[in-house]
Amino acid sequence: MDQVLQLRHISYSYSSGNKALQDVSLSVNKGERIALMGANGSGKSSLFLVLTGIIMPNEGHYFLKGKSFRYCRRLRQELCKTIGFVFQDPEVQVVSNQVFEDVAFGLRNMRLSDEEVEYRTHQYLELTGILHLKDKLIHTLSYGQKKQVALAGVLAMEPEVILLDEPFAWLDYRQSKRLLTLLNQLTKMGKTLIVSTHDSEFANQWAQRAWVMKDGALEADLPTENLFNNAQLVDKLDIAPLVSKETPEVLSTH
Ligand SMILES: Nc1ncnc2c1ncn2[C@@H]1O[C@H](COP(=O)(O)OP(=O)(O)OP(=O)(O)O)[C@@H](O)[C@H]1O
Ligand SMILES: [Mg+2]
């Protein structure tokens, strides 16, 4: 299997002293669907920031398509070409005042022709179900709508690897269904996808593999069925059991 990314022995502390990642080693193969799970504050978003090179640990190695890098500007430039990242909070991702311009922003930076920018922006606004918002000002949108704008902007650049940080949070039923269809389409196109989520049902149904963070460590890295078939492990890792696997006593309290 083709390996796309690998981290070896990565630790990271924020300047405030918060130790967010502790000796994390992992690898990602082309075309994989990985669910990143773990309690609030366990280090999921920090891991995404490290994988995208936005935060740079002092120690550890990054392998991109088999090539070893120390954390440096060159690595970040290489990662920009390979990885698209949809932040947990769209407020930190949107850069323009208007929806169409925001989705077009990355494409213009890629120096595509005006026709190509127009075509792809339109295409991805449609795919993400927000074409009707194209002329709106960003500040007039709801939080969920802003999340879709950020998603459209990242997908439009057609990156090989896509990291989505809690993409379903704040989406309504119809947009969640649309996103699930989109994730399946992206898989068919051969994209590598890592999605952070607190939704065990989604992780179980969609992902092949689960990474579970606990206190900054990658506590488990295993096929999703091995995780969700092991009630003790699920409990120990502080993630929600599947509803269908909850004990009758738990169900009867609902
Ligand atoms: N900008 C920051 N400055 C200082 N500490 C931070 C910062 N961002 C995160 N942390 C800390 O790093 C640790 C990991 O946080 P992170 O946001 O990666 O967790 P998470 O698993 O994504 O949580 P959530 O499920 O709430 O999104 C926490 O202790 C958090 O307080
Ligand atoms: Mg987070």
What would the pLDDT profile of 108-166 be if each residue is shown by its tens digit? 999 999 999 999 999 999 999 999 999 999 999 999 999 999 999 999 999 999 999 99
Nearest CA to ligand 1 atom 7: 14
**What domains appear along the chain, each with residue ranges and CATH number?**
31-53+83-240 (3.40.50.300)
62: left (phi over 0), alpha (psi -120 to 50) or beta: beta
Residues 196/166, Cβ–Cβ less than 8 Å:
yes
Question: How is residue 82 written in tokens?
Answer: 């390979």
Ion ligand 2 residue ranges (Cβ < 5 Å): 44-45, 88
**Overall pTM > 0.85:** yes
CA–CA gap between residue 241 and residue 52 (Å, rounded): 30
Residue to mutate, 22, 44, 48, ligand 1, most ligand atoms under 8 Å from C-beta: 44
Q: What are φ and ψ of residue 172, in 5° steps?
A: -80, 180
Measure Cα distances from 185 to 15, 32, 47, 155 in Å.
40, 13, 25, 12
Residue to mutate, 11, 13, 14, ligand 1, most ligand atoms under 8 Å from C-beta: 14
Mean pLDDT of 24-46: 97
Which among 80, 126, 81, 82 has a CA at the least distance from the CA of 103?
126
Per-residue pLDDT band for 248 (boundaries 50, 70, 90) equals: low
Antiparallel, parallel or unpaired: β 3-13 and 209-214: unpaired
Whole-number pLDDT of residue 226:
97
Name 7's bridge partners.
26, 62
Which among 54, 31, 64, 21 has a CA at the least distance from the CA of 162?
31
Whole-number pLDDT of residue 170:
87
Residues 72/57, Cβ–Cβ less than 8 Å:
no
Name 26's bridge partners.
7
Lowest mean pLDDT among 91-100, 160-169, 238-247: 238-247
Question: First vs last Cα of the chain: how many Å apart?
Answer: 44
252, pLDDT greater than 60: no
Residues 6+ apart with CB under 8 A from 97: 137, 138, 139
Whole-number pLDDT of residue 163:
98
Q: What are φ and ψ of residue 217, in 5° steps?
A: -105, 150
Whole-number pLDDT of residue 34:
98
Which atom of ligand 1 has the smallest separation from the CA of 39? Answer: 25
Per-residue pLDDT band for 74 (boundaries 50, 70, 90) equals: confident
Per-residue pLDDT band for 8 (boundaries 50, 70, 90) equals: very high
Which atom of ligand 1 has the smallest separation from the CA of 38? Answer: 21
Whole-number pLDDT of residue 245:
66
Whole-number pLDDT of residue 253:
46
pLDDT one-digit tens code per residue, 157-195: 999 999 999 999 988 999 899 999 999 999 999 999 999
CA–CA gap between residue 108 and residue 113 (Å, rounded): 8
Which residue reads 């075509």 in tokens?
119
As a whole-number percent, the residues of the chain with pLDDT over 90 amount to 83
Residues 46/24, Cβ–Cβ less than 8 Å:
no
* Helix residue spans in the chain (DSSP H): 44-51, 73-82, 99-109, 114-127, 143-156, 173-188, 200-206, 224-228, 231-236, 248-252
Which one is predicted more confidently, 232 or 252? 232
Which among 209, 144, 135, 219 has a CA at the least distance from the CA of 175?
144
254, pLDDT greater than 50: no
CA–centroid distance, 13 to ligand 1, in Å, is: 10
